[in-house]
Every structure is written in structure tokens, then in C-alpha cells.
Amino acid sequence: MKKFMNGADTFVAESLDGFVRAHDGLVMFGPDRKFIRRTHLKQGKVAVISGGGAGHEPMHVGFVGHGMLDAACTGHVFTSPTPDQVLAAIEACDTGAGTLLVVKNYDGDVMNFEMAAELAQAGGRSVDMVFVNDDVATEAAPRSTGRRGVAGTLVVEKIIGAAAEAGMPLEALKRLGEKTVAATRSKGVAIGGATVPGGARATFALGPDEMEMGVGIHGEPGRARSAFRNAETIAGLLADDVIGDLVAERGRDVLLFVNGFGSTPASELYLMYGALRKRVEASDLVVARSLVGSYVTSLDMAGLSVTLTLLDATGCELWDAPVLTPSLQWGH
């Protein structure tokens, strides 16, 4: 597989180096390049930290900045960061109000972030965690116990990040994070697998008339393979599963987030947004906020996901709050 790289072994490090150089007004490396942090930390604010394997960019490093994350830890491609990376981020970003870790529900992420939290707590720091598990396609999937955390992680990080910026204390932030997770559902579809640097082939192969429903963001195949359909039909399949699992009252406000996996053009994402919005509104939900783009990717996977989050007045206010990160910016 052809990639713009010097070698698979240096791919992640060189990518992160370019990222920090491109956004050096907003972010910087932490000690020993173990993590990427905000250039300017806000004293007395709860630090919000997340992370995961490379290959999902711009998540998580692209969401480091005002109104979102204080730091992000990146592992090898589709591999959790190590506990010492997360511990180093906690120690560097804790300005006195404690730290909240936002963790996608994959076994490796959960284990390593929990270990880092325990080490930090043993050192006298106040640390808590929120686990994101928004993927309706999975109950017991590879790499996770229970549902996976996927594109809904962005929503959780944005809402928690805004509340932390406004001074919300750690215990309340954890409750807010858990409330947001409970109000968020996602599902993905792919028409082509991801190609991992150094790999000889895509993570899974599909025929010209096939699609994969319920894919993960680590190159995992879906829960069902079926004949490829038109956009309206695919939107219906995704929306019905997500809305059905959300069990929302009629008239509720929602955020509709259509996320590309890496190779899907913006024109197709917006086309699918239009089809999905019709399905959502036909279910008597009100699309109060929207986001469309490739924010939680799986390298170059061809596909997309839909995320719905129930929003109350506070949720809308926190979503609208100013954010200034390399990949998400508004209100400034």
C-alpha cells in the first residue's frame, strides 16, 4: 500500500511532529513528547485529558485547546497510549482542581487509563474518569467489554470541556460526562476497509456491491455485510437503529453529527446529512445543532457514522460555548 511516509516505525512520531509545528500557537509537546497539551493551561481549572491510538485524527490531538481538552495522549496506530504517557499528562496539566479522563470503551484504553489514574491518585492527585460507549452496533465486541466508544467521544469532550472552562468542579463534571454519554448513540457503515501503515492490505475487503454495517474505528469489520444500497436506504438503516436505541421523547432537541472515516468526500457526507436529517425529523426529533466532517477517522476507511445526542438547554449552551482547537473552532 502506498502511503506518504518514511517508514511505518516512524509514521506516528513524524505525524505528531508535523501537527505540533502546524499548530504551535495552540499546542505543544509535553516532556519527552509523551503527550500534546494546550500551550496555555488555565490555572484552577479541572484538566480534561483523553487519548487513544493514532489513526483517528483529528481526534484526539485536534481537540486540544480552549474549551475542550487540556492534553491528548497518542499511542501507535490503533493502539492505546501507555499508562506512563497518561500519568505524565495528568502531572503536567493538573493545576489544582483535579483531572477528568475521557476514555473510549476499549479494553486497552480502559486498562491503561485506569492504571494511570491509580498511580496519580497514589501520588495524592484527584483524578476521575468518564467512559464513552456510544456504539449501538456492539454489546461485546473485539477490543472492548460492552459497547465501543466511537464518534460520540467528540461530543462528550466538547460538552465537558466547555463546562470545565467555565469552572465546573470535578465531581459535577463527571456527572455531566456520564449524562452526555447516556444521551449519545452512534452507528457506522463502511464501503472499504482501512490500510494500516506497513500493512500489505486493507483491514477488511468488500466486493464492489457490498457494504459493512456497524464497523468500528480500529479497522474492525461490521456486524453485518449486505448488498450496497442508495444513500436514502443507508440513512434509514443507520437512523432507525440509532433512534430506536436512544428511546427519546417526541419533540426533543438533538445534535446530529455525521462523521467521515477518512476517505469519504465532504459532498457525500453532506448528502448523507440531508438524508439522515429527514429521517430524524420524521421521528419527531428536532435537529437543534449539527456537525458534519471527518473528525473521528479510521485512517483511510471509506465510510461514515451518524451520532445523535439528546440536548437540553444546558447541553445546547455548552455545545455553543467558544472553542479554539486545531480542528474545532467557533465563538472566537
Q: Which residues are catalytic?
A: 56, 218
Label residue 13 left, alpha or beta by phi (over 0 means left) and psi (-120 to 50 means alpha).
alpha
Summarize pLDDT for 14-33 with one digit per residue, the tens.
999 999 999 999 999 999 99
> Tell me, what's the pLDDT at 240?
95
* Res. 6 pLDDT band, cuts 50 70 90: very high
Assign domain 10-183 to its CATH superfamily. Answer: Dihydroxyacetone kinase; domain 1 (3.40.50.10440)
C-alpha cell at 19: 501537527
> Tell me, what's the pLDDT at 206?
83
How far apart are the C-alpha atoms of 193 and 299, rounded to whole Å?
A: 9
Longest distance between any two alpha carbons in the chain, whole Å? 57
Q: Where are the domains of the chain?
A: 10-183, 185-320
Give me the CATH code for the 185-320 domain, please: 3.30.1180.20
Residue type (1 letter), 129: M
Rounded mean pLDDT, 51-65: 98
The residue to which cell 436529517 is assigned: 277
Rounded mean pLDDT, 243-272: 95
pTM of the model: 0.96
For all residues of the chain together, what is the average pLDDT? 94
Which DSSP category does 192 fall into? E
Distances in Å between the Cα of 297 and the Cα atoms of 89, 165, 190, 193, 215 are 23, 26, 12, 12, 12
17: three-class secondary structure by DSSP: helix
Summarize pLDDT for 220-247 with one digit per residue, the tens.
777 788 899 999 999 999 999 999 999 8
Rounded mean pLDDT, 51-63: 97
